Amino acid sequence: MSNDVKRPSRRKFLKGAAAGTTAAVAAVPYLARAQTVLKVQAAWGGGIFLEFAQDYVNKVNEMSGGSLTIDLLSVDSVVKTAEMQTAVHKGVLDGAHLVTAYWYSKSPAASLFGTGPCFGWNANQLLGWMKYGGGYELYYELMEALKLDLVGFFNSPMPAQPLGWFKEQITESAQMQGLKYRTVGLAADVLQEMGLSVVQLPGGEIQPAMKSGLIDAAEFNNPTSDKDFGMQDVSKHYHLGSFHQSQETFEIIYNKSLFEKLPEEHQKILEYASEAASADFSWKLQDRYSADLISLQEDHGVNVYRTPDSVMQDQLAAWDIVTDRIASEDPYFAKVMESQKAWSKRVVRYELLNAPNYGGAYEHYFGSMT
């Protein structure tokens, strides 16, 4: 035999090896990477909040390369909204996308993590407190006290929620006395302190309730959701600006025992996708909320007002009464609120001192905002 036999080139060898490996994997499907699917129910039946939940899910699914996916279920698919937290704790659901006001009945302090009093801070500063000011430590202290097998991530800093929809323009607090008004969480106590009769309803029931006269006035969250609910068909008086829910975020919870069994890579994907969704939420709402506010005015004849400062001052006074009462009876509630105050006193001071007069700049170029 000749010693001049040609050896295959390295390139041809690697190409052939790769082809063989691909064929082998194709022929033996069980070599494909195992997939974990999590069943997560949202508190939303549609609209932009369900869209925001889906944005988070998409990020998880894409970041994992298919090894971890979330099957997002809409409101009431498995359990009612009020039962979602318990369902995740028990493992009936793997996770849930909601807000803390929806489990406020288990602890008044729940509202402090979402719809608490305003110390001058906004929702992004609330998230800062959660991550760097001791908020998560206090949150898990509450989970332990309530004996809930949960792990949670907070994201998506919401703008201050509008005071909402009324049958006439509100120019003073006296006009609100005795009105049947929809809100949730601690805000319900605050509005009751101001003399309103509060009804707590899920989002999808607000417009029908106002149309039928069950309630006289209502808020939900933002111009896009309000427009989707059809609030413009039952009222033409929309008031922006309020302290009743001046900072809120989404809460994404998972069954802790299940979460801790996931590979660390998957745990981090669930966490970091929450942070990515938070940023995307902040950018998307700028586009959608502003455009829908204009549509409410120009296409539906809605009168948009800024809530009078006197009404918001009365809200702050009501907040003081409500939170002082609860704090005197609940040491944990007082502990959380003091932590939040300490964060706000330092962080908000800096931001307010540093912020230029953005309103003045806006009016310089575009005229009056109203």
CA–CA dist 123, 278 (Å, integer): 11
Task: Go through 157-182 and write b for each residue having 16 or more CB atoms within 10 A of its CB, e for each that does not.
Answer: bbbbbbbbbbeeebeebeebeebbbb
Range 26-42 burial, b when 16+ CB lie within 10 A, else e: eeeeeeeeeeeebbbbb
Q: What integer is the mean pLDDT of 288-293? A: 98
CB atoms within 10 A of CB 351: 14
What is the model's pLDDT at position 6? 41
pLDDT (average), residues 63-82: 96
Per-residue pLDDT tens digits for 298-337: 999 999 999 999 999 999 999 999 999 999 999 999 999 9
The rounded mean pLDDT for the chain is 91
Does residue 65 lie within any of the structural domains? yes
Model confidence at 173, in pLDDT bands (50, 70, 90)?
very high
- Residue 47 in any domain: the answer is yes
Q: Is residue 200 part of a domain?
A: no
In a domain, 205, yes or no: no
Q: Residue 326 corresponds to which amino acid?
A: I
pLDDT confidence tier of residue 203, bands split at 50, 70 and 90: confident
pLDDT at 10 over 70: no
Q: How many domains does the chain have?
A: 1
Q: What is the mean pLDDT of residues 164-191?
A: 94
Reported as a single tens digit per residue, the pLDDT across 252-267 is 999 999 999 999 999 9
pLDDT band at 34 (very low <50, low <70, confident <90, very high): low
Residue 7 forms part of a structural domain: no
Please indicate, yes or no, if residue 222 is contained in any of the structural domains.
no
Lowest mean pLDDT across 48-57, 179-188, 299-308: 179-188
State both tokens at 9. 């080139």
Banded model confidence at residue 19, pLDDT cuts 50, 70, 90 = very low
- Could you list the residue range(s) of the whole structural domain that residue 256 is in? 34-157+247-286
220-241 pLDDT tens trace: 999 999 999 999 999 999 999 9
Closest CA to 198 of 239, 164, 247: 164
Share of the chain above pLDDT 70, in %: 91
To the question of pTM greater than 0.75 for the whole model, the response is yes
Average pLDDT over residues 22-41: 60
Find the CATH number of the domain harbouring 258.
3.40.190.170
Asked whether residue 198 is assigned to any structural domain, the reply reads no
Tell whether the model's pLDDT for residue 208 goes beyond 90: yes
Q: What is the pLDDT of residue 135?
A: 98
For residue 269, being part of any structural domain is answered with: yes
Binning pLDDT at 50, 70 and 90, where does residue 33 land? low
